[in-house]
């Protein structure tokens, strides 16, 4: 992983990783992306940052972002999304609809796949589609 910030490549090719493992790293990558965006704004009060972050990281929001991405995805990316959507995690958060949760897992799975495949330009292009949905965020 020459182009990555961290020097810990996965133990397998990204296409061979369990979709829940891809979603695990995808969640972290997405969280850093959202946090960096929020910190680029003016209001840095912790409670404000958290409230704004929820608009991006909730299962419902991620499911909607995935829906918006679908027409933009390649066949390979759609296959990754399907693997992520169909993965059985064994649990569902109390505050999430099961379909939203599965689509959020698919969203995170694709992010993890692109990250571990070192397709950073593609990952950035898709993630940059997320920000305009909520922007401009009130900085009151």
At residue 84, what are phi and psi to the nearest 5 degrees? -65, -40
Q: How far apart are the C-alpha atoms of 45 and 28, rounded to whole Å?
A: 22
What is the model's pLDDT at position 120? Answer: 94
What is the model's pLDDT at position 138? Answer: 41
CA atoms within 13 A on the CB side of 100: 13
Positions in the chain whose pLDDT score sits under 70: 1-5, 132-140
Instruction: Tokens for 126, please give them.
Output: 């898709």
Active-site annotation, residues:
27
What is the model's pLDDT at position 43? Answer: 83
pLDDT tens, residue by residue, 25-66: 999 999 999 999 999 988 889 999 999 999 999 999 999 999
Name which of 88, 116, 95 is nearest 9 in CA terms. Answer: 116
Beta carbons within 10 angstroms of residue 14's beta carbon: 19
What is the model's pLDDT at position 90? Answer: 75
CATH code for the part of the protein at 15-134: 1.10.1520.10
Burial grade of 58 (CB within 10 A; 0-12, 13-18, 19 or more): middle
What is the model's pLDDT at position 8? Answer: 87
């Amino acid at each position: 992983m020459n182009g990555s910030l961290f020097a810990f490549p996965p133990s397998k090719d990204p296409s061979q990783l369990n979709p829940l493992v891809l979603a695990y790293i995808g969640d972290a990558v997405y969280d850093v992306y959202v946090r960096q965006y929020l910190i680029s704004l003016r209001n840095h009060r912790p409670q404000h940052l958290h409230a704004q972050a929820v608009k991006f990281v909730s299962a419902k929001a991620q499911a909607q972002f995935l829906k918006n991405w679908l027409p933009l995805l390649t066949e390979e990316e759609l296959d990754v999304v399907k693997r992520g959507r169909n993965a059985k995690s064994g649990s569902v958060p109390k505050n999430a609809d099961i379909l939203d949760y599965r689509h959020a897992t698919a969203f995170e799975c694709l992010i993890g796949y692109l990250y571990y495949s070192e397709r950073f330009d593609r990952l950035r292009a898709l993630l940059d589609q997320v920000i305009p949905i909520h922007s401009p965020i009130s900085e009151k």
